[in-house]
Structure 1
Amino acid sequence: MDLLYLLYSLLRKKWIIAGCTVLGLVAGFVFTLFQPKSYASYAQYSTGFTMEQKVSIKEEAGLNFYEIDLRFNNVIETFRSPKVMSMLSYKVLLHDLEDLKPFRSLNDEQKKSNVYALTNMDHAKQLLRRKIAGMELLSPFDPEEKKVFDLMYLYGYAPEYLQGYLTIFRAERTDYLVIHCKSENPELSAFIANTIGQQFIRFFNVIYGLRNQESAARLDSVASAKKRNVDSLTESLKAFRERIGTPNVADRASAAMTVVQGVTSNYQQEQAKLNNLKGELRSVVSQLNDLNSQGTGSSIVNNNAAIMALNKENQNLEIEKNGKSDEEIRKLQDRIDANVKKIRDYTNSGGTLTDRQQRQNRTQVRQEDLIARKTDLEEQILAAEGNVALFRKQKEDYEVITKTGGGDQVILDAMERDLRIASQEYEQLKRSLQSSLDLDINPQNNFKQILVAQPAFQPEPSRRSLILGLCGMLTLFLSSFIIIALEFFDSSFKTPSIFQRATKLPLLSSLNKLNLKKKPLQEYFKETDLSREGEGALFVENLRKLRYELTSSGKKIFLVTSTKPKEGKTTIIEALANSFSLTRKKVLLIDANFSNNTLTQKFGAKPTLEQFSFTGQGNVMDKFWSTTSMTTIPNTDLVGCTENNHTPSEILPKSNLLENLPKIAENYDFVFVEGAALNNHADSKELSAWVDGIIAIFSAKSSLGQVDKDSIQYLKSTGGKFVGTVLNNVEANNMDL
């Protein structure tokens, strides 16, 4: 496909492209004109992911940015989780059912629906409060919950609907998470942006649980013990300095040896202690595994945790009553009563203290003791491992000193080193303790809302200019692409260059498309316009080129055929006769197209081709003149035929007109015989034996198929008889391509 042809195709159809672009602009304008207004609200949370997230005795390395990005992705996905989105849907629906100013109101038709009419609103409110408090999902399989579920869809508050209003993203290169909500109601947008964060934090705390407060207390105990150790080392160093004064170099070796012995003894004792602690830890872990496999006590622990959480929530609700209206106090009291009922249910679920429950309580106490013992053993092992490493290092250092001399200065250096290490450990413990006091209850959840979403005063801009530009550009490119695609997948010849590349046949001339309904063909040859412009003048000029090629070929009798029917053979034969008449040449036209005798029908000629038979008596020309018909074209005669389903060899008699054609042609300058299409009939192959040259007609609207290739191969096999081809019906704009 020629790029130049594609470009010209776009230029020829520029008004179609322009019209599509205008339609796109109009569609964009209508879209923005009737687009509903939307209001946006923003809430912002500090995640604390770049802060220290856990209590650690050892100082950690710098920030892990990959881990931080992963945490942000996890948090965003948690925001979109079904549990959080469902809690948000329940809160919004409960607001519209209880508040005097709901975000959305149902119309009369919606209120007449079965979903609204069959729903008990008081029961629906209680059910929503219970589901929100317990973070439970509505079941569409429960008949009562199914009604509330359908009501939520009736209001348009389903989780998948609300999720379409929300956009949650991380503020670039910050510790902040932004929640953007856009809806038709400014107060609804602000409510959703604030509520989803609250529900997310609740859900996040449930996932990761509450932080163990004993860690900070134990860390404080370890810090206090380390403080006492530092004070003791300081006093020992002070007393030693007062005792020895200036150390004697001669005593250093013996002093160093003494230190080595003491350190070696401490090292062995600490290693033995470490081995005992590890063995005890394995025993505790094994006992815990046995208790866990029995699965006892879990329900009681869970009930206790739930009761504590409900009691704490009731305390907070009592505090919230201060300064509230009677309606709000009533709502808070309903929640308190619901929590009290749950506490009673949890308490009753325990049952009487049977023997089995007593065993469970004892097992639970045993499990708690083992967990506490396991934690204590792990910390002791950590300390013992540090002491073992320290004593090993001291032992190696003092063994070196014993070989080079030691004394009181060595002991003094060792005591100073011990004091310095203990002081550093104490400072690290103080920093860890301070960090633990700065964290929230959940070490993985340090979320704080730093920007509360507010209702927007003005709707979001419609971005009409941008939408119009996008619509215009989209339709422009889309229409251009469709036109190019249609041209690209169009396998017709279209242009002379494409035709020659496809067929590799000699091209005598290309004839442009002519509107014969507007004016008969013969009239185009009578025009005297000197400008030679327009489709008629272009056609006549290109036909003159064809006339010159035929005159220069030195041949007189031509067979005009084609590979497909209706390629324009009759029109071109008529046009050639008109062109040759301008040069005062005598032309004989013979219609041998038995499958479609259009030439005979057009001029009303006598169908005498099948009747002519020269027996050798008299003059052949005398008999020939009786078979010819006059045409409207000057100096042009026509021999017609009957339309039938026979080939020339089947229907023509012996010594027919075609066999005597050389004698008859002596009275004419040129003879043109029209034959049937090569793809469908064998007529033209039989006629080729009686002519000097063969001209093949192709239409620019045709494409090349396998049957055409076979016919083209036959034309090439005729050798010198094949004169060339004529490409007919070419668009005027494609003539030069």
Structure 2
Amino acid sequence: MELGNFFKLLWKHRLLLIIVPLVTIIISFFLVKNLADKYVSNAQIATGIVDQSRQLLDADPTGSAKEQSIAHEFSNLIEIMKLKTLINQVSYQLILHDLSNDVPFKPESKLFKTMNPRARAHAIEVFTQKFKNKQPLSYYNKDENGLNELLRSMKYDERSLRKDLYINRDEDSDFITVAYESNNPQLSAFVVNVLCSQFIDYYTHTVRKNETDAVNYLSDLLEQKRQILNKKTNELQEYRIKNGILNLDEQSRAIFDQIMVFNDRKQQAEKDVASYNGAIQKLNNKFTPQERGYIEANVSKYNQAVTNTQDQLHILNDRYIRSGFDPKLKAAVDSLSNKLTAQINETSDKYISSPLTSKDELIRQKIGLEVNRDLARYSINAINTSLNELNTRFNKLVPFDATVKTYNYDIDIASKEYLDVLNKYNQTNLQSTFSIKLRQVEPATPDAAEPSKKLLLIILSGVISFAFCVVVLFGIFFFDDTIKEPAELVKRTHLPLLGYSNTVEGTLDLRKLWDVENRDKMRLFKELIRSIRFEVDQELRGEKILGITSLTNAEGKSILAVSLAYSYAMINKKVLLIDGNFSNPAISNTVQPKIYIEDYFKNNPDNYETLSSTTNVMGNHGGDITLLELSDENYIRSKFNELKMKYDIIIIETPPLSELNKSKEWLLFANKIVAVFEADKGIAKWQNNNLQYLRNLNSKFAGWVLNKTNASQNRF
């Protein structure tokens, strides 16, 4: 489909495109003539979501608020404002105003006028109660359902109010704009102000309740965590008191330090014993066996004073070791050691050695070394005893330490939980103090009427009606698969085209057909027929028999056949027009020929029917008969040969291809075939077989003639 064809369709229906919008504009003018003026009232609510000046105490220090979260918050506020509960509050206030005031916002409805004073008082009571409790009217309660009907009759119900209510955020600002449009400026301002106040009250109450519940919950949770922390702390204190634990770390560190000191002293004592034994052994090697026996016999018998002092030194040294090497006892040990040395020196003055040998100094050294060795040996025993006691005490501290660490771990966890809850409690408590930021910064006031939209509505109605007509015509054009132009016929059938003809009115009279009232149409028709005649001559190339058929009945075969016959007669050609359409002999009925097909082609020896030179039409009697039923093919072909001798051209109108083989029998004898197709008709699926038959004729098929086209169409 070409766009130009669509514009042609629009031009064809130009009157429709003018009249329909014009009528619509006239009707719209009378409809909007008495429309009431519209009044719009606006109010603004500051939310504090974007305004940082109102977020000094609870501002986000990280500045992590994102546009998406801000948009979600505004969307949530707007949806809250659109809740049915809040719209119902506005409805109650409106109806209460009209019930209790002499000047209502709107004209009283029929149901409103039927209410008596008692009914009005009851309605005021119910609406007031519902407003205070923020409750909807029940549809299942007969009384409340009647009040619902009252709201609907006054257009104060939720659905009616929502139609003219507009709630939007002002671009990326901190404000929400609420607007309402009505026929009364006071009504518009009243609706907006009531809705804003009810929204702020509802939101404040809801947020306060949620925050109070959160604070109370955190307070109870904080008290529970405090009790758990105190309980864990008390258990640790009781365990320390019960087991005498002051500071396990300090105690274990002190015992460990003592163990290290004793180990050092033990190593030193063992080293001293080994050194003393070596020194004594060297001294013993300096004496002969006789001297050694003598010395050992006398030295082993110390005097009583040395022995007593030595025992005291052992005891005091043992105390000194057990005390952890107390410096106070160290002085006593040193003093007693000096005393023992003095006593040993005194014993060396005796003659305990051989009178023959002077080795007193060696003997004194040996005795001193033995005393020191004994002291070191006794100190090792004392140190081992102290080490065992210290290890025992240190091992006892291990289970205490594990238990205390368990208590401390539990206390740490309880303390962290307590501090987390405390921080959350403080934060929530602070936010609850400053969380409500909603306030109506600009109340709604009665405003002037909005600019009239009457002219715009009238123009819009005309534009819409015009566009509707165009759309309808486009739909017709888009879904129209009929063939209107010769090029479309060639494209759809893939067969050649001889020409086309326009629509004319007239009879099938050979002479009167070309003489009609509309001279312009007739002149065009003549020119188109002459063009077809020329194309037919080019196709015949000296042949004489032309068959004219169509896909269906009443497509213009007869008009074309008669017109071609007359056109050939105008150029002094001898023309024979044969009406081969037995089922619809239109030419025969009009012309009333002198000779008929049934008589001429019938193979009968008694048939001597001949054509005169003046005969140019051969008709038929009609009926259910075919050409080959009159005679055999050879005989008919011989008769056509006779006709060729007498006439310059023979034009045969055949039945349509839809009548099975009736048309095909005639086409057997035609040299060229022309098919007539009526414009503004489509090609059905069942006609594809007939199209294929025409294609199979190959060069025998001369082409299409598109009939009944628009006279204004361009020639191909």
In the superposition, the TM-score normalised over structure 1's length comes to 0.64
Deviates more, 1:716-725 or 1:22-31: 22-31
**Distance in 1 separating the partners of 2:655 and 2:595:** 16
Structure 1 counterpart of 2:368? none
2:483 corresponds to which letter in structure 1?
F
**Distance in 2 separating the partners of 1:13 and 1:505:** 32
- Of 76, 85, 94, 1:92 maps to 94
Structure 1 counterpart of 2:648? 669
Relative to structure 1, the CA distance from residue 117 to residue 697 in structure 2 (aligned partners, 3 Å threshold; closer, same or farther) is farther
- The alignment partner of 1:611 has SS state of helix
Contact 1:524 1:536 in 2 (8 A): no
Contact 1:277 1:380 in 2 (8 A): no
Question: Quick check: 1:477 aligned with 2:467?
Answer: yes
Contact 2:112 2:150 in 1 (8 A): no
- Of 543, 550, 553, 1:565 maps to 553
Report which of the two structures shows the higher radius of gyration computed on alpha carbons. Answer: 2
Question: Quick check: 1:450 aligned with 2:436?
Answer: no
Q: CA deviation at 1:382?
A: 10
**Distance in 1 separating the partners of 2:59 and 2:33:** 64
Contact 2:509 2:591 in 1 (8 A): no
Q: CA deviation at 1:563?
A: 0.9
Relative to structure 1, the CA distance from residue 562 to residue 528 in structure 2 (aligned partners, 3 Å threshold; closer, same or farther) is closer
- Of 647, 650, 656, 2:629 maps to 650
**Distance in 2 separating the partners of 1:76 and 1:180:** 13
Structure 1 counterpart of 2:127? 128
Contact 1:612 1:653 in 2 (8 A): no
Relative to structure 1, the CA distance from residue 542 to residue 646 in structure 2 (aligned partners, 3 Å threshold; closer, same or farther) is same
**Distance in 1 separating the partners of 2:483 and 2:603:** 47
Question: Quick check: 1:730 aligned with 2:716?
Answer: no
Contact 1:592 1:674 in 2 (8 A): yes
Contact 2:506 2:512 in 1 (8 A): no
**Distance in 2 separating the partners of 1:119 and 1:636:** 106
Q: Deviations over 1:104-136 (max 9, x none)?
A: 242557635xxx479822222111111111111
Relative to structure 1, the CA distance from residue 62 to residue 150 in structure 2 (aligned partners, 3 Å threshold; closer, same or farther) is same
1:367-446 alignment, distance < 5 Å: 378-379=421-422, 443=435, 445-446=436-437
**Distance in 1 separating the partners of 2:171 and 2:124:** 41
Contact 1:591 1:599 in 2 (8 A): yes
**Distance in 1 separating the partners of 2:5 and 2:60:** 75
Question: Quick check: 1:693 aligned with 2:672?
Answer: yes
Relative to structure 1, the CA distance from residue 19 to residue 159 in structure 2 (aligned partners, 3 Å threshold; closer, same or farther) is same
Question: Quick check: 1:150 aligned with 2:129?
Answer: no
**Aligned pairs, number:** 526
Alignment gaps of 5+ in structure 2: 220-403
2:421 corresponds to which letter in structure 1?
E
Structure 1 counterpart of 2:500? 510
Identity of aligned residues (%): 24
Relative to structure 1, the CA distance from residue 98 to residue 496 in structure 2 (aligned partners, 3 Å threshold; closer, same or farther) is same
> Aligned Cα RMSD in Å?
3.7
Relative to structure 1, the CA distance from residue 574 to residue 473 in structure 2 (aligned partners, 3 Å threshold; closer, same or farther) is same
1:67-146 alignment, distance < 5 Å: 67-107=69-109, 111-112=113-114, 116=115, 120-146=119-145
1:733 corresponds to which letter in structure 2?
S
Q: Deviations over 1:309-349 (max 9, x none)?
A: xxxxxxxxxxxxxxxxxxxxxxxxxxxxxxxxxxxxxxxxx
Relative to structure 1, the CA distance from residue 488 to residue 514 in structure 2 (aligned partners, 3 Å threshold; closer, same or farther) is farther
Q: CA deviation at 1:472?
A: 3.1
2:475 corresponds to which letter in structure 1?
A
Q: CA deviation at 1:215?
A: 7.7
**Distance in 1 separating the partners of 2:635 and 2:706:** 32
- The alignment partner of 1:728 has SS state of strand
Structure 1 counterpart of 2:583? 595
1:551-562 alignment, distance < 5 Å: 551-552=537-538, 553=540, 554-562=542-550
- The alignment partner of 2:35 has SS state of coil
Q: CA deviation at 1:686?
A: 1.1
Alignment gaps of 5+ in structure 1: 220-268, 283-373, 384-428, 629-634
Q: CA deviation at 1:195?
A: 0.5
Q: Deviations over 1:671-712 (max 9, x none)?
A: 111111112332111111222221111112221222322112
Deviates more, 1:11-20 or 1:166-175: 11-20
1:215-294 alignment, distance < 5 Å: 276=411, 278-279=413-414
Structure 2 counterpart of 1:166? 165
1:597-612 alignment, distance < 5 Å: 597-605=585-593, 608-612=596-600
Relative to structure 1, the CA distance from residue 652 to residue 17 in structure 2 (aligned partners, 3 Å threshold; closer, same or farther) is farther
1:555 corresponds to which letter in structure 2?
E
Structure 2 counterpart of 1:263? none
Structure 1 counterpart of 2:234? none
- The alignment partner of 2:583 has SS state of coil
Contact 1:695 1:722 in 2 (8 A): yes
- The alignment partner of 2:529 has SS state of helix
Contact 1:119 1:147 in 2 (8 A): no
Contact 2:603 2:635 in 1 (8 A): no
1:584 corresponds to which letter in structure 2?
N
1:9-24 alignment, distance < 5 Å: 9-24=9-24
- The alignment partner of 1:462 has SS state of coil
Relative to structure 1, the CA distance from residue 148 to residue 564 in structure 2 (aligned partners, 3 Å threshold; closer, same or farther) is same
Structure 1 counterpart of 2:287? none
- Of 702, 715, 721, 2:694 maps to 715
2:143 corresponds to which letter in structure 1?
E
2:545 corresponds to which letter in structure 1?
I
Q: CA deviation at 1:212?
A: 4.5
Relative to structure 1, the CA distance from residue 213 to residue 497 in structure 2 (aligned partners, 3 Å threshold; closer, same or farther) is closer
1:47 corresponds to which letter in structure 2?
T
Structure 1 counterpart of 2:453? 463
Deviates more, 1:689-698 or 1:192-201: 689-698
- The alignment partner of 1:124 has SS state of helix
Structure 1 counterpart of 2:530? 544
Relative to structure 1, the CA distance from residue 160 to residue 440 in structure 2 (aligned partners, 3 Å threshold; closer, same or farther) is farther
